[in-house]
Amino acid sequence: MNRRMRLCLVALGGAGLAALFTAAFLRLPAFGGDRHPYGDRAVRAALHRHTANTIASVNFDLRAFDTLGETSILFASVLGCVVLLRQARDEHRARPEPADVAPPVRRYALLVLPVAVLTGLYVVAHGQLSPGGGFQGGVVTATALHLLYLGADYHALERVRPLGAYEAGDALAVSAYVVTGLAAVLAGTAFLANTLLPYGTFNTLSSGGTVPLLNAAVGMEVACAVVVLLARFLDQAVEIEEDSGK
Amino acid sequence: MIAVALLLVAASATAAVATRDPARQALVLSVLGVVLAVLFTTLQAPDVGLSQLAVGAALTPLLLLLTVRKVRRRPRREEDPR
């Protein structure tokens, strides 16, 4: 395939995409309006199931199957990273020297660390009530743990981070999501249908049926996945060295 | 408000493309993440804004910086042909 052919192919695909995009956008509701057919239906369904945060209701109830797909994508990509970034045969581990940390940095990092972890856990726990949820809170919690690397050093981080436990937690959380879905099947409804648990009182932590459970499972999965991912990258950046002489 | 946020996004995105040094690019990318989060919040999508803040402003630049460090640390002999 020569250059001309490739250009023609790109132009063809681009033109098709542009045409379809324009056609799709012409049918969209106007920007900034207060009525939206899908939004109205989603809000009604969320209120019916006592879930205060409509986004959480869409993610973990109406479209729970989509979220299962996204969770599996994250799981598979982290698995791929773990496989790719493992220690190769011509590499060895070198213990990193403890680095000097400027006192203000250390003070600030250690001060913010508990606040950040707590914020992350709060965002996970209140996913069905306020903006946020498992994904956002999980990322915040996992990145907050790495303030320890900034404030203290790599050793301290490794001590609070038994990697095997996080890898197991990642897999466990994905399984918990699937098991919650299968429980609905056992109860005689569809996979991941939100009919198993009582909907509870509106705007309390336990409202929304299975939404809080799935939310917590995703939170745990994302937190563990990000910790494992960052650990592999940190290993590569700090610890693993290529053997220089052969 | 939306126009200001959009302009900021356009400016920082252009800056991210114009920066050539990968380490600096990661920092500019982090700024872009924060500005995008502001844009999403003004468009009344705080959920998306929050994920953008966590992933775009913290996680992606961190992974990029770690990767840059790993690549730079590699001994120079990689350059000679095998």
Residue tagged 């932590």 (tokens): A205
pLDDT at A245: 44
The Cα of A129 is separated from the nearest Cα of chain B by a number of Å equal to 12
Contacts of B54 in chain A (CB under 8 A): 136, 139-140, 143
- What's the average model confidence in pLDDT over A193-201? 82
Give the pLDDT confidence of B31-70 residue by residue, as tens digits.
999 999 999 999 888 899 999 999 998 899 989 988 888 8
Determine, for residues B58 and A244 on separate chains, whether the beta-carbon distance falls below 8 Å.
no
Domain that holds residue A168: 18-242
Determine, for residues B55 and A139 on separate chains, whether the beta-carbon distance falls below 8 Å.
yes
For residues A15 and A21, give the distance between their C-alpha atoms in angstroms, rounded to a whole number. 10
Give the pLDDT confidence of B1-30 residue by residue, as tens digits.
888 999 999 999 999 899 888 889 999 999
In a domain? residue A27? yes
Determine, for residues A242 and B74 on separate chains, whether the beta-carbon distance falls below 8 Å.
yes
Higher pLDDT, A100 or A246: A100
Contacts of A230 in chain B (CB under 8 A): 59, 62-63, 66
In a domain? residue A137? yes
Query: What is the tally of structural domains in chain A?
Result: 1
Q: CA dihedral in degrees (B23, B64, B38, A113; nearest 10)?
A: -100
Evaluate if residue A211 carries a pLDDT over 80: yes
| Helix (H), strand (E), coil (C) string for B5-55 | HHHHHHHHHHHHHHCCCHHHHHHHHHHHHHHHHHHHHHCCCHHHHHHHHHH
Determine, for residues B50 and A143 on separate chains, whether the beta-carbon distance falls below 8 Å.
no
CA Rg value for chain A: 23
Interface check for B51 against chain A (CB to CB < 8 A): the answer is yes
The complex's ipTM works out to 0.80
The Cα of B13 is separated from the nearest Cα of chain A by a number of Å equal to 23
In a domain? residue A13? no
DSSP A60: I
DSSP A126: T
Residue tagged 């920007």 (tokens): A31
In sequence order, what are the residues at sequence separation of 6 or more whose Cβ sits closer than 8 angstroms to the Cβ of residue A163? Answer: A227, A228, A231
Determine, for residues B59 and A143 on separate chains, whether the beta-carbon distance falls below 8 Å.
yes
Higher pLDDT, A185 or B81: A185
pLDDT at B44: 86
pLDDT at A246: 39
In a domain? residue A123? yes
Interface check for B62 against chain A (CB to CB < 8 A): the answer is yes
In a domain? residue A10? no
Determine, for residues A237 and B69 on separate chains, whether the beta-carbon distance falls below 8 Å.
yes
In a domain? residue A2? no
Evaluate if residue B82 carries a pLDDT over 90: no
Contacts of A236 in chain B (CB under 8 A): 66, 70
The Cα of B69 is separated from the nearest Cα of chain A by a number of Å equal to 6
pLDDT at B32: 93
For A117, the 3-state DSSP assignment is helix
Contacts of B51 in chain A (CB under 8 A): 135-136, 139
Give φ, ψ of A240 to 5 degrees: -80, 130
For residues A117 and A170, give the distance between their C-alpha atoms in angstroms, rounded to a whole number. 18
Query: From residue A60, how far is each of A16, A179, A204, A206, B44 by CA, in Å?
Result: 34, 14, 17, 14, 20
